[in-house]
Amino acid sequence: MAWFFYMLKLEQTVLVFCNFMTNYNAMRKIIIPLILIVALASCHFDKNITTKAKTSDAPKVSDTVRIANDSLEYEVVIIDAGFNSWLYGNARPRGFYSESFLENRNQIYVTEWNNRVLQPQRYNPNLYEMQINYDRNIHYGYEVNYLIYNYMIYFQIVNKQQLGGFAPRP
């Protein structure tokens, strides 16, 4: 009788274990997401981090360069991600090129740019979207010519283009 009781008890244990395993798979589908939800809900973020970031005194660098001269009533806006960092990291310093050099190169680059805008079937229209109104007879000043020249160099290097008859160099 003891042996039969032992067999019966062993059989019940096996049945209980099998029931536990089938229930374990079902429980696993419920418990694991529940544990993840509880873990995420219990995370505590420092609320001062956002206020510190908002009140930071660090200078903000924008990817938009705006060049304006109110006396001549013109404005140049360059919106290109990465241009500012490229300008500060790779371009020659202000004063390296003469203003006449910059004006001559800008005239060549802008003329070629405008030709490419007018030929969307030949050149990528996503690169050359609009014409640049650059008049050689207007004195834009050194800063405007410097930034336009460097943008043209940046554009050629980044997009693997060549405007004019010479390779771009920063």
pTM of model > 0.75? no
What pLDDT tens digit does each residue of the chain (170 aa) get?
554 444 555 555 555 555 655 666 666 777 777 677 777 677 765 555 454 444 444 444 555 555 555 555 666 777 888 888 888 888 998 889 999 999 999 999 999 999 999 999 999 999 999 998 888 888 888 888 999 999 999 999 999 999 988 788 76
123, containing H or E segment: none
Look at the chain and count its residues: 170
Q: Could you tell me which residues come within 8 angstroms of residue 154 by beta carbon, excluding any fewer than 6 positions away?
A: 80, 82, 83, 86, 87, 90, 91
For 105-110, which contacts have Cβ atoms below 8 Å and span 24 or more sequence positions? 105/149, 105/152, 105/164, 106/134, 106/145, 106/148, 106/149, 106/152, 107/134, 107/136, 108/163, 108/164, 109/148, 109/149, 109/152, 109/163, 109/164, 110/134, 110/148, 110/152
The ranges assigned to domains in the chain are 2-44, 64-159
